Structure 1
Amino acid sequence: FATDLYNQAKDLGTTFAFEGVVRIENHEDEKIVYTTKNEYHAKAIIIATGMKRRELGIEREKELTGKGVSYCATCDGMFFRGKDVAVNGGGNVAVEDAEYLTRFCNRVYIIHRRDEFRADEAEVVKLDGKENLVKVMNSTVTKLNGDDRLHSIEVTNKNTGETTTLNVDALFVAIGQIPMNQIFSDIIELDEHGFIKTDEECRTSVKGIYAAGDCRVKTVRQLTTAASDGAIAALNACNNL
């Protein structure tokens, strides 16, 4: 789908620049986008930076990503059929991931830093009666062990300080996502979580700058709503030139 959109835009004359944006500037008659290689001048800007998955922030996490550490159970779960695995998180995604993995993994640990899950009760009750599911509450993952692949994790109980080693072949991290809007914080208004504030027309607090998709404040974040945002932002940007 994304490839089809890319090819269609390219056929219509869109120029793609695969460069990292460093900052943007707002001037009375134009906007300037500074990247790692160039600067671009425009009458309007549409920000569609999306979100990135929140990481644990512990040693060797990046090193073992793709080698037992994953952020997508539905993508990578089947690689661990018949194995012992762990899920870290307490929201809907974490609980749904754990329930999904119990269908084909030998044992599933779900690790959450609080004493109750934040997920909807309708999702939590699906874990009841799962004989191969182990709940590890009030705990956090503090260490990842393994040479070329993950072979165990260390989990520390927040109340007792006791650390336990869990022998698992995979750790699925599901502790939320964060927006990537930090570089815009000095020019447009963000909410307390770092999402861009817009109106229903995808207009930000600065005239001529729009935001579309998961990067903006919204209730539903799905492919269809992001595509809708893109169309709204693009039409408004063109109409207001």
Structure 2
Amino acid sequence: MSADYDVIVVGGGIAGFSAALYAARQRLKTLVIAKDIGGQLNMTTLVENYPAIMKISGPELVARVHQQAERFGAEVIFDEVVGIEKEGNIFRVKTYGGDEYRSLAVILAFGKTPKELGVPGEAKFKNKGVSYCTICDAPFFKGQDVALVSWGDLAREPTTILSSTSNKFYWIFPGEKPIYDDEFMSTVLGAGKAVLVPNSEVVEIRGTNKVESVVVRNRKTGEVQELKVAAIFIEVGYVTKTDFVKHLVDLNERGEIIADWEGRTKTPGIFAAGDVVQYPYKQAVIAAAQGVAAALSATAYVMGLKGKKVVSLTDWRAEKG
């Protein structure tokens, strides 16, 4: 059994794309499998402590590294990795969409996974109208009616995007107001696309082959209504989901992956970086650096499998003997 890729990076945050950038730049055939782009940096409206960049939003920071990684040849697909198995020197990476990819090395950089609602129909319609990444998928539903479940700072980016892409969007949230920022709310409502659905929760997602409607219940009155939509965007935060790799790596009590300073785990060929590892300081610059370290370690590992020794890895040159 041969490998499709030299390295597969699991995760589309700053750690994942930094790893992909360095792996691709070292001429490894690199694939990124991401459920969304940005990860937890999507919650950050302003980054002022990233070296050499005075001010930038979290999503824009990741977008730039994403572009760099693709410029060097990294491929990116949007799906969720649900299983990884090792057979000999080959890793089989399985996705929720039913696809399987093979690689010589894997870099786990998925940080924390987007939270799910846990309602009927959600799992059935993943990638069929259920999305956890508005910036990734909103263009596919341009000019259509959609739903958004989000509130607080998490809702700033998706509401801005849907205000320009959708015909209208039902903004569903559990409280009286989704964001306590009157200026921002005025901007969103002024675009004329948002239909507020306060004090409410989604209880079911319906459809045949794809999302066709969402059922919403008012938490105060108990009233239930069905909203006809082509998609539902769920942006309600992140959780650590590492159960699918616990047979390959050691985990601490918080479910974080234990890796050394070179990104190596207990399984040769499996590396880890970013917020998913046990390192206590969760900073964008640290996650990026860990992604780079994991990529360079993966490069040395892959070159070893191919019978080549990496003599030096620098910013400007890679010498192989």
Normalised by the size of structure 2, how large is the TM-score?
0.51
Matched, 1:106 2:167: yes
Matched, 1:74 2:132: no
Matched, 1:57 2:118: yes
The alpha-carbon distance between structure 1 residues 9 and 104, as it changes in their structure 2 partners (threshold 3 A), is: closer
- Supply the AA of the counterpart residue of 1:107: K
How much does 1:174 deviate?
Answer: 0.7
Structure 2 distance, partners of 1:153, 1:103, is 22
| Per-residue deviation, residues 103-144 of structure 1 (Å, max 9, x unmatched) | 131111111122333687775554242322111121111111
Match of 1:129 in 2: 190
Match of 2:206 in 1: 145
Structure 2 distance, partners of 1:132, 1:143, is 23
- Supply the AA of the counterpart residue of 1:213: G
Matched, 1:167 2:185: no
Match of 1:32 in 2: none
**Fraction of identical pairs, as percent:** 31
The alpha-carbon distance between structure 1 residues 19 and 170, as it changes in their structure 2 partners (threshold 3 A), is: closer
Q: 1:5 aligns with which of 10, 17, 23?
A: 23
Match of 2:308 in 1: none
| Structure 1 runs not aligned, ≥5 long | 12-17, 22-34, 40-46, 204-209, 236-241
The alpha-carbon distance between structure 1 residues 111 and 202, as it changes in their structure 2 partners (threshold 3 A), is: farther
How much does 1:167 deviate?
Answer: 1.0
The alpha-carbon distance between structure 1 residues 77 and 138, as it changes in their structure 2 partners (threshold 3 A), is: same
Root mean square deviation, CA, Å: 4.4
Asked whether the equivalents of residues 216 and 227 of structure 2 are also in contact (C-alpha less than 8 Å), the reply is yes
Structure 2 distance, partners of 1:171, 1:82, is 14
Normalised by the size of structure 1, how large is the TM-score?
0.65
Asked whether the equivalents of residues 22 and 292 of structure 2 are also in contact (C-alpha less than 8 Å), the reply is no
How much does 1:218 deviate?
Answer: 4.2
Structure 2 distance, partners of 1:234, 1:74, is 26
Paired residue total:
209
| Per-residue deviation, residues 130-159 of structure 1 (Å, max 9, x unmatched) | 322111121111111111121111101111
How much does 1:62 deviate?
Answer: 1.9
Structure 2 distance, partners of 1:162, 1:73, is 28
How much does 1:197 deviate?
Answer: 9.7
The alpha-carbon distance between structure 1 residues 104 and 118, as it changes in their structure 2 partners (threshold 3 A), is: closer
Bigger mean CA deviation after superposition, 89-98 or 139-148? 89-98
How much does 1:71 deviate?
Answer: 1.4
